[in-house]
Every structure is written in structure tokens, then in C-alpha cells.
Amino acid sequence: MSNPLYDTLFGGYIGSDTPFIETIDGKITTHGNFVAIASRLANAFHALGLKKGDRVAIQAEKSVTSLCVYAACIQSGVIFLPLNTGYTTAEVGYFIDDSGAKLFICDEKKVDDMKPILEKFGVTLKTLNADGTGSITDLAKQQKNSFSPVDTNGDDLAAFLYTSGTTGKSKGAMLTQNNLLSNSKTLTKYWKFNDQDVLLHALPIFHTHGLFVAVNVSLMSGCKIILMPRFDVSQILDNMPKATVLMGVPTFYTRLLSETAFDAELTKNMRLFISGSAPLLAETHIEFENCTGHRILERYGMTETNMSTSNPYDGERRAGTVGFALPGVEIKITDPESGLELATGEIGNLEVRGPNVFKGYWNMPEKTKEELREDGFFITGDLGLVDEDGYLQIIGREKDLIISGGFNVYPKEIELVLDDQPGVVESAVIGVPHPDFGETPLGILVIEDTNVEFKISVIENKIFEKLARYKHPRKLIIMNQLPRNTMGKVQKNVLREKYKEIFLS
């Protein structure tokens, strides 16, 4: 029997008493205990009738047990579907329906809201709370500590991650065992992880960075994890003296720099600070190095490709760039119209090819064909250039994607909600610079010319009902009309220029 991802990440840890995860209350979970919990959960999946290729969706708080659910899916050949804890019931309903999930795991507090949707689609419901309790845990406790991994191969699907499109319809990116395995091996070696490292883990575990990068690399290298429920400055400061690595988004670093206790002495045991998921300002690079003596390592990746590029571990980590293609990965800049590769220094579409690139979009063959070329290059939708020294710079997003605090926010999804509100003629949502989140959504509304009082607060309440918090526009502005070009298209570049300093002054 063979299960490449399980064999590599977990197989060697059966019965091991080496510490793997330490929670902020000081509780230690060994590698052996982690595998045992995962095995009990895998047996629980089997008891629920799940088979290889079925989907398990989970919307639960970050915990050791929720990570064990991921491991159990790998063991049992089940496809893992983590969902942002901020998603509304309506959003989750779409993912359940589209993925065809057989089992949904969530916090007890969400059960009443989710039951009607799950009953509609015939999905089994189990609970998992932040403290590790819940009905899935109760079922797992009745199971054996061992589970024979389901036979798989590298091309079998390991996970779905949903990424919204500009039409507002989310796409399920299909990631194989080889996608995750190849990337973990490469990053472990490239960033020089080893079993003496201690990773401060303050990222969410429902997307690539916090799960497939942070956790898989830790398992691959034997690195210990200090698991934090979320980013908390005081907890980071308290735990940094016993850590060696921090993976974060720009927000982490700007907030740390505002703390007087954050200095070279506090970070003397650290060997690596990694940043991604959103652009890091050059000023932050400089301030961070002046404050700590460390140079942040910025990298580039996305849901469909895992990590594709990185500034070097040894060598110049150049501010404003995301470094070079990782070993085994190819990147090129192409003309948006012809698809032909452009010369050094020219701006165009960034395309990526390698074992890290996903298999395609679930149930979307046409969308897959549009973005994944026959020769294996994936059209990322990001605009970039490669400078004369080979460093990649990300210039912008072809599809107006907003990255706020490390989360992808697609304007069209918000605009659909705004346009549907009484009194709103049309709307435009743009990303503007923000000192804390890097970028944040700003909503511009054109309203009906009537004598009826128009209340922004009513619109804001409706957004709260419909969309996850990180998608909420930081502010709503009323304009008489939206700027348009001669073809009638809204000129979002004009709006971005007009409001680029609205949150910086």
C-alpha cells in the first residue's frame, strides 16, 4: 500500500514522542499523538461511510484537532476542503453544493444556521469546537489509534481550495498529492528548515500559506510549531524568544514595528522572517532591518500554484520583488494578447509551470482551459516583470483583485451585493493602500436622485449579512457618476488615483 503524501509527512512519526505542536497555554502534542488522533479521525470517517475521493468540508476554528482532520483526510484518501471561518451561511452553502461534500464539520454555534442547507443537500453534520470538543471528536474517541492509509498515487486529489472569480462565482482549485508534496520538499530545502526550528504559527489554516506551507514544511523538516489561534501582538512578543521562524503577511510586520518591545534583542534567536500573500512596502523592509537586523524574505504564491518564487535565503533579498522561481518551477512574462514571451523588463501576464501547479478547477472545464495552457503554464492573472538581475516584481492584478491583510477580495462579489440594494444605481469597488492591511476595499456608490433619505448604515448592515468581514468595504463613498472611458467601461484606475491616500492621511 502506498500513500505518498501520508508516507512522507506522517509515516515516520508513528509512536514518536518528539514535541510537534505547543499551544499558547503550554500544552504539548507529540508527533506520535498527532498521528494517533488523525488515525482515530480517519477511522471515524470510515465509520461514517466516507470513501476515497469523497469531500470533507470544515469551517472550524484553528486547533490541533482541526489540523488532525487535515491529516486524517490524507490518510483516508478523502479530499480536504477548508473554509474561511468568516464565510456566511450563504457562502458556505455554495461551497457545499458545488463541491458535493459528504461531511461538513463546524463549530456547535453554527449548527442551527447550517442544518437547513445540509439537509437540503444530504450532507452529514459533525461539530468541532475551538477547544477540540465536538461530535466528531466524540466519534473519534471510540475508534482505534491506528489506520492503514488508503492506497493513493501522486496524481490523486488531496484538497480543494476555493478562490473567488471576478464574476463573483468561486472556483474550486483541485490540488493533488504531488502538488503539495513537491512544494513542501522544495521549500523545506530552499528555506533551510530543520528539526531544530520552532515556527511561530499565527496564520489561518484555511488557505495555502498557513496550511500547505507552514504545516507541511514543519512536518517535512521535523520543525516544532507554536500554534496561536490568530495573530496577537502580545502573544507573538511573548513567544518570539523561543522561536526561530515566523511566517506572516505584511500586517504582522507593520504591527510588530509599532511595538517598542520589538527590537534586535527580542529577535536574536530568530533566523527567518517570511512574508507573503500581499505586497510588502519597501519602507517596511527598511524599517524592519533597521529595527532588528533581519531582512524579511518575501515570496510569491497563490491558491492554484502553492509557492512559485522566493527571494533567496542566501543572497540579496530585494525589496519590492518576490525573488526568483523556485527550483523546478518556471515563470515567464507574456503579452496579454498574443501569449508570446516578453523581453526582460517588460510588463505582462505572469505565467507559472511546475509540479506545484494545480490540476484545474472543479466542474469548470472551460475556465480551466482558459487559464491553464496545454503546455502546463498557468496564467496567474497577475501582471509582473522580471528585471535585469532576474528578480520578479508583481506590478498589479489584471482582474482588479484586492489583497487585504493576506486575504483575496474580489470587487465584483461586493459590487453584486451593493448593486442589489434599494436606492443604489451602480457601484464600483476598488483596492486602496492601507497602512495596516496593505490594501483595503473602498466602495463607491451612485444613488438614485430622489428626495428619499439614503442611509449608508442600511447598506453596511446588508453587507454584514451577505459577506465575510474581510470583504467589507472600509468605507462607502457617494458620487454623482462613475468615470468611464469612451467604450463606457468604468475607469477604476482613475478612482484608485483619486482615493489612493484616503486611509494614509
For 436, the enclosing helix (H) or strand (E) is: none
Q: List phi, psi (to 5°) of 243.
A: -115, 165
Residue type, 505: S
Cα–Cα distance between 254 and 285 in angstroms, integer? Answer: 10
Please report which residue ranges of 15-59 form alpha helices under DSSP H: 31-47
Under 8 Å CB-to-CB from 235, ≥6 apart: which residues?
24, 202, 228
Task: Say what the pLDDT of residue 1 is.
Answer: 67
Of 32, 48, 4, 3, nearest to 146 (Cα)?
32
> Can you list the domains of the chain with their CATH numbers?
4-152 (3.40.50.12780), 402-498 (3.30.300.30)
Angle made by CA atoms 177, 372, 339, in degrees to the nearest 5: 145
Between strands 297-302 and 79-82, the pairing is unpaired
Three cell numbers written together for 87 = 464565510
Residues β-bridged to residue 102: none
In the three-class reduction of DSSP (H, G, I as helix; E, B as strand; rest coil), residue 57 is classed as: strand
In the three-class reduction of DSSP (H, G, I as helix; E, B as strand; rest coil), residue 95 is classed as: helix
Task: Say what the pLDDT of residue 150 is.
Answer: 96
Please report which residue ranges of 191-269 form alpha helices under DSSP H: 214-221, 233-239, 250-257
Cα–Cα distance between 12 and 3 in angstroms, integer? Answer: 13
Task: Say what the pLDDT of residue 269 is.
Answer: 96
Task: Say what the pLDDT of residue 167 is.
Answer: 46
Under 8 Å CB-to-CB from 265, ≥6 apart: which residues?
none
Query: From first to last of its 505 residues, what are the pLDDT tens digits of the chain?
Result: 699 999 999 989 999 999 999 999 999 999 999 999 999 999 999 999 999 999 999 999 999 999 999 999 999 999 999 999 988 898 899 999 999 999 999 999 999 999 999 999 999 999 999 999 999 999 999 999 999 999 999 999 999 999 854 445 789 999 999 999 999 999 999 999 999 999 999 999 998 999 999 999 999 999 999 999 999 999 999 999 999 999 998 889 989 999 999 999 999 999 999 998 777 877 889 999 999 999 999 999 999 999 999 999 999 999 889 999 999 999 999 998 899 999 999 988 999 999 999 999 999 999 999 999 999 999 998 888 999 999 999 876 676 778 888 887 878 788 888 988 888 888 999 999 998 888 999 999 998 876 556 788 888 888 888 899 999 999 999 999 888 764 456 788 889 999 999 998 7
Using N-to-C axis directions, what is the helix angle for 177-190 and 214-221, rounded to 10°?
70
What is each CA distance from 197 to 20, 184, 252, 451, in whole angstroms? 11, 16, 20, 64
Task: Say what the pLDDT of residue 165 is.
Answer: 47
The reported pTM is: 0.83
Cβ pair 321, 227 in contact under 8 A: no
Task: Say what the pLDDT of residue 166 is.
Answer: 42
